[in-house]
Amino acid sequence: MGLFVNTMRLMWSIDRQRRLELESQFISMHKIQLGNSQVELGNMYGKLDPASEAARILDSRIKQLQHAETVLDNQISRIQSQTKILDQEIQEARQNIDKAIKNTFGLSRAFAGG
């Protein structure tokens, strides 16, 4: 592949990586909010009679929040896997750009100020 194609590939990969990082940050914020909600519900649960209807409802809600947190953990794992793949793509694109510059101009990217 030529210089232009590899440059576009590099730009796309970096853009995608940044979008994944932003998505990961949003998910982390949601996890913090879920954790805070779980703590609040846990505090309320502790003040109730465990056999009461209200305690049963709170327990159910806490389990739902825990499940939601697991789903978010899985999404973060997926994003981390995609980020690792993009790291490889970025490295490969940079190497191909270096080769294309060297083949075209007889220079390396590092020598050319990049």
Global pTM?
0.77
- Is the pLDDT assigned to residue 103 strictly greater than 90? no
So where are the chain's domains? 3-105
Cβ atoms of 24 and 82 closer than 8 Å: no
The pLDDT > 90 percentage for the chain reads 84
- At residue 111, the pLDDT reads 52
pLDDT band at 1 (very low <50, low <70, confident <90, very high): low
Q: Which residue has the tokens 């990961």?
A: 24
- Is the pLDDT assigned to residue 19 strictly greater than 80? yes
Cβ atoms of 93 and 13 closer than 8 Å: yes
